[in-house]
């Protein structure tokens, strides 16, 4: 009898120690048990009304909340490694906000900052996570966060903590499907050169107008692929879906409205299609922005511009993409365990400077009365001020974060720029993973990232201050991301458990 009691006590002490080791991430135990868990959450970051909405040349004051502005988080844990995705409904969030959030996450949850990928959706219908007015384009790194920036950073950290609290035994799958009908290259080569606000002739023009007889051809390709990750509980309950599509945004939002654009509608429609409403914890549907710096939703080669009611087009696009994703979802092969890997590096890029000729052009613009006919372009006064800020305020070099995740045979890259589709396609083609996608505006926001070839033909995305870094920056970024992909590609199919 005593012997039986002794064995019983030893059994439970052993079980307790094993459980503690599991929670602490014991490699030997985790390798044996193949633990995989996932959790997700939504945190509201809807700003107060009365602030400027950014995303265009005008900045209307927010006076109506159409739909909530959120932070959506996913946490993956396989017993050995933790990966975190955080997607923020904002046009672009500066690195200092993300760094603050990552510091809170690392301090409170002991998750390394390199394992946390945070990105903006690029909705054009919310306020900036930065200063208001022209000064939001200034160099702010090292300055204290403003009220909304600090609020967003705290809510990011709160969201991750909640997602950790929602961790449960789970299974994961990933898939992809081409949806080309909603993506168009917005940059076109023109028959005749067009003048820029900087006083130089461009071969390419952004958003040249539907029915324009001067169109020659798109200046670059599109990426039609929708990639996505699906998470379910071990019993088959949907936990989250995170999509990735190279579509800048859709728009069609009335002036003054706050909206998370089609990104939010996609998530809501996925919840409906998966019959995941009213769950506890709630289902989380996410759409991330792929490499869409030169892509939008308008067919410029058409003969007539579409006329849609407010929010009509974004609902159509989001619902159609969600329905195509669900058609693939039904045939997915879910895995009960996958390897998780992360790699991160910080690289230095040169900040572009104005040439003497450009500075001379901008000085001429500043000297002209505001009511005079433009010397070069209707936006020249705006760009004259932006050039002044970049010349006076920005350092000669900046450091940016590049990041990759490896999830089984899926590779994910993160770039802190509005990245051109051709760069995303190159990464997919060169990646060592079976499936690859890129999340842009991640871990910071430094403007557009044209390729050197796109710089040659000019256009909005290449104008100084719209693009802030050296002409060869995209080349350097691709090379470094390939190095990081090779670091996280240390596993094979045999390491993935069905």
pLDDT of amino acid 2:
39
Confidence of residue 131 (pLDDT cuts 50, 70, 90): low
Residue 466 belongs to a domain: yes
305 and 324 within one domain: yes
CA distance 200 to 194: 8
Using one digit for the tens of pLDDT, what is the confidence trace for 193-244? Answer: 999 999 999 999 999 999 899 999 999 999 999 999 999 999 999 999 999 9
pLDDT of amino acid 267:
98
Q: Give me 46's structure tokens.
A: 């809807």
Contact indicator for 357, 193 with CB cutoff of 8 Å: no
Q: Is the pLDDT of residue 304 over 80?
A: yes
Backbone φ and ψ for 23, nearest 5 degrees, come out as -65, -30
376 and 287 within one domain: no
381 and 271 within one domain: no
343 and 471 within one domain: yes
Helix (H/G/I), strand (E/B), else coil: 226: strand
Residue 470 belongs to a domain: yes
475 and 378 within one domain: no
Q: Is the pLDDT of residue 11 over 90?
A: no
pLDDT of amino acid 129:
81
Q: Is the pLDDT of residue 258 over 50?
A: yes
Residue 197 belongs to a domain: no
Q: Which of 368, 390, 412 is the last residue before a domain boundary?
A: 390
Q: Give me 38's structure tokens.
A: 């996932």
CA distance 485 to 429: 12
Helix (H/G/I), strand (E/B), else coil: 262: helix
Using one digit for the tens of pLDDT, what is the confidence trace for 282-302? Answer: 999 999 999 999 999 999 998
Residue 424 belongs to a domain: yes
Q: Give me 201's structure tokens.
A: 């002739």
Q: Is the pLDDT of residue 9 over 70?
A: no
Residue 173 belongs to a domain: yes
Q: Out of 119-133, 153-167, 267-281, 335-349, which region has the weakest mean confidence (pLDDT)?
A: 119-133
pLDDT of amino acid 134:
55
Mean pLDDT of 97-107: 97
Q: Which of 390, 411, 445 is the last residue before a domain boundary?
A: 390
Percent above pLDDT 70 for the chain: 90
373 and 241 within one domain: no
Q: Is the pLDDT of residue 82 over 50?
A: yes
342 and 383 within one domain: no
H or E segment at 435? Answer: strand 435-440
165 and 247 within one domain: yes
Tell me which DSSP letter residue 129 carries.
Answer: B
226 and 134 within one domain: yes
CA distance 332 to 91: 32
Backbone φ and ψ for 300, nearest 5 degrees, come out as -70, -20
DSSP for 147-204, written as a single string: HHHHHHHHHHHHHHHHHHHT-EEEEEEEEEEE-GGG-EE-EEEEEEEEE-TTS-EEEE
Q: Which of 331, 366, 390 is the last residue before a domain boundary?
A: 390
pLDDT of amino acid 58:
81
Confidence of residue 139 (pLDDT cuts 50, 70, 90): confident
Residue 305 belongs to a domain: yes
- Cα angle vertex 85, ends 80, 86, to 5°? 145
- Domain containing 368: what range? 356-390
Residue 5 belongs to a domain: no
459 and 368 within one domain: no
CA distance 151 to 129: 9
pLDDT of amino acid 250:
97
425 and 336 within one domain: yes
Confidence of residue 311 (pLDDT cuts 50, 70, 90): very high
Using one digit for the tens of pLDDT, what is the confidence trace for 412-467? Answer: 999 999 999 999 999 999 999 999 999 999 999 999 999 999 999 999 999 999 99
Residue 435 belongs to a domain: yes
266 and 364 within one domain: no
Using one digit for the tens of pLDDT, what is the confidence trace for 19-70? Answer: 433 444 433 334 446 899 999 999 999 999 999 998 777 889 999 999 999 9
Q: What is the pTM of this model?
A: 0.91
CA distance 169 to 335: 12
Helix (H/G/I), strand (E/B), else coil: 58: coil
**Number of compact structural domains in the chain:** 2
């Amino acid at each position: 009898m005593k012997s039986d009691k002794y064995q019983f006590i030893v059994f439970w002490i052993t079980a307790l120690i094993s459980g503690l080791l599991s929670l602490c991430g014991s490699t030997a135990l985790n390798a044996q048990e193949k633990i995989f868990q996932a959790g997700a959450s939504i945190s509201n970051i809807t700003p107060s009304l009365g602030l400027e909405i950014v995303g265009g040349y005008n900045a209307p004051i927010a006076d109506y909340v159409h739909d909530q502005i959120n932070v959506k988080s996913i946490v993956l844990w396989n017993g050995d490694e933790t990966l975190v995705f955080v997607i923020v409904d904002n046009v672009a969030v500066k690195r200092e906000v993300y760094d603050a959030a990552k510091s809170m996450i690392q301090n409170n949850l002991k998750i390394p900052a390199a394992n946390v990928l945070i990105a903006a959706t690029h909705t054009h219908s919310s306020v900036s996570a930065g200063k208001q007015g022209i000064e939001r384009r200034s160099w702010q790194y090292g300055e204290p966060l403003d009220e909304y920036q600090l609020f967003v950073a705290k809510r990011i950290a709160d969201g991750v903590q909640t997602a950790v609290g929602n961790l449960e035994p789970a299974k994961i799958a990933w898939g992809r499907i081409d949806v080309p009908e909603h993506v168009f290259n917005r940059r076109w080569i023109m028959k005749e050169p067009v003048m820029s606000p900087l006083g130089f002739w461009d071969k390419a023009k952004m958003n040249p107008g539907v029915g324009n007889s001067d169109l020659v051809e798109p200046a670059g390709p599109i990426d039609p692929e929708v990639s996505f990750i699906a998470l379910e509980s071990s019993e088959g309950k949907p936990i989250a879906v995170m999509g990735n599509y190279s579509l800048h945004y859709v728009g069609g939002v009335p002036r003054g409205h706050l909206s998370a654009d089609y990104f939010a509608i996609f998530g809501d429609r996925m919840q409906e299609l998966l019959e995941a409403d009213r769950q506890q914890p709630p289902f989380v549907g996410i759409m991330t922005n792929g490499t869409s710096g030169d892509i939008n939703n308008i067919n410029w080669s058409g003969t007539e511009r579409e006329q849609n009611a407010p929010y009509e087009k974004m609902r159509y696009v989001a619902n159609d993409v969600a329905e195509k994703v669900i058609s693939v979802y039904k045939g997915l092969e879910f895995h009960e365990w996958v390897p998780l890997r992360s790699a991160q590096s910080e690289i230095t890029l040169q900040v572009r400077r104005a040439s003497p000729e450009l500075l001379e052009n901008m000085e001429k613009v500043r000297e002209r009365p505001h009511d005079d006919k433009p010397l070069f372009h209707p936006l020249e006064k705006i760009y004259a001020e932006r050039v002044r800020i970049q010349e006076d305020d920005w350092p000669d070099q900046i450091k940016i974060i590049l990041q990759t995740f490896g999830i089984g045979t899926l590779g994910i890259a993160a770039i802190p720029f509005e990245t051109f589709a051709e760069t995303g396609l190159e990464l997919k083609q060169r990646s060592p993973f079976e499936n690859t996608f890129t999340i842009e505006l991640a871990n910071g926001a430094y403007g557009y990232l044209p390729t050197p070839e796109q710089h040659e033909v000019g256009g909005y995305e290449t104008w100084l201050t719209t693009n802030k870094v050296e002409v060869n920056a995209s080349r350097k970024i691709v090379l470094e991301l390939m190095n990081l992909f090779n670091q996280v590609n240390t596993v094979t199919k045999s390491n993935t458990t069905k």
